[in-house]
Amino acid sequence: MKTTNINFIGNRNIALIFSGVLSLISIVSLATQGLHMGIDFTGGTLIEVGYQQPADLNALRQKLDAEGFESATVQNFGTAKDVLIRLKLQEGVSSADLSTKVLESINKDVATPASLRRVEFVGPQVGDDLAEDGFLALLYSSLAILAYIAWRFEWKFSLGAIIATFHDVIVTLGLFSILGLEFDLTVLAAVLALIGYSLNDTIVVYDRIRENFRALRDKSTEEIMNISVNVTLSRTIMTSLTVLLVLVSLFFLGGETIHNFALVLLFGVFFGTYSSIFIASPAALMLGISPADLMIPLKDNSDIAHLP
């Protein structure tokens, strides 16, 4: 099979400028707008109702706005007949009273009223704990990645992988901040899955670079990296396309509950593949990685040289 010969490493400055602009936009958005946290983190009430026919979500939003629930999030849940209503935390109102008031509001002047399916309440302390634990999980997983790759390869590769992974996470979070999409536990789980996917691609490329560092002694570091990325390119593309087919199906057919989950992974798989090629390897190159760093040391036989 013919191997591609694209000068990825030679064009790294263009990619780094592009990634730098995206990361800067994402950081500015996160600093100014922040993330639109779901009730998993902020606390609030989740109410599921069912209809006998497809629900008119716009009409439901208008009724809730008229009753003072301007911040309510209304979306289909599973089918067009099932509706999920999310309300932010309201002081001094129990979840039972709140669900009763919401049900009365949406059932005004309708021929076929909605039926209450379930009510869930998340307190503010629980939300704070979930937010803290979730972001600690991101921190600990990043530290574990740093330690593993430093042990498995070399510390310059380790920092390169962390830079690429943080690039993917920051740009993905920036997307949610700019678009004002809700960030909940499902999305956090997708971000953690994205870290694993991006890292897997990066390690495949690094493994081939390490092999070629030891095999191709007559070429420069940049040439060896370029050869390694090109050799792994077909595997990377086929893996990404296979994953994308599943994620596209989940995005369009999976329903509202995993819509944002699929969106994170769709966006993340693209940038995870991109960063493995254009960020991870160039970052290690900029840190000064060279074949000498991964050469197998020769055994010192000086202590037996004098033996007959």
Q: What is the CATH number assigned to the segment(s) 44-122?
A: 3.30.70.3400
User: pTM of the predicted model, to two decimals?
Assistant: 0.77
| Bridge partners, residue 116, by sequence | 49
Which run of H or E residues covers position 74? strand 73-77
> What does DSSP say about strands 115-122 and 79-88: parallel, antiparallel, or unpaired?
unpaired
Residue 243 pLDDT exceeds 50: yes
Pair of tokens at residue 32: 């100014």
Q: Burial of 250 by CB count in 10 Å (0-12 exposed, 13-18 middle, 19+ buried)?
A: middle
In whole angstroms, what is the distance from residue 214 CA to residue 229 CA? 16
Average pLDDT, the chain: 83
Say what the pLDDT of residue 304 is.
Answer: 47
Domain boundaries, the chain: 9-36+126-292, 44-122
**Strands 182-183, 36-37: parallel, antiparallel or unpaired by DSSP?**
parallel
Enclosing H/E stretch for 119: strand 115-122
147-178 pLDDT tens trace:
877 787 778 888 888 888 889 989 999 999 99
| Model pLDDT, residue 220 | 86
pLDDT at 295 over 80: no
How far is residue 270's CA from residue 192's CA, in Å, rounded to a whole number? 15
pLDDT of residue 57: 86
Note the CATH architecture for domain 9-36+126-292: Up-down Bundle (1.20)
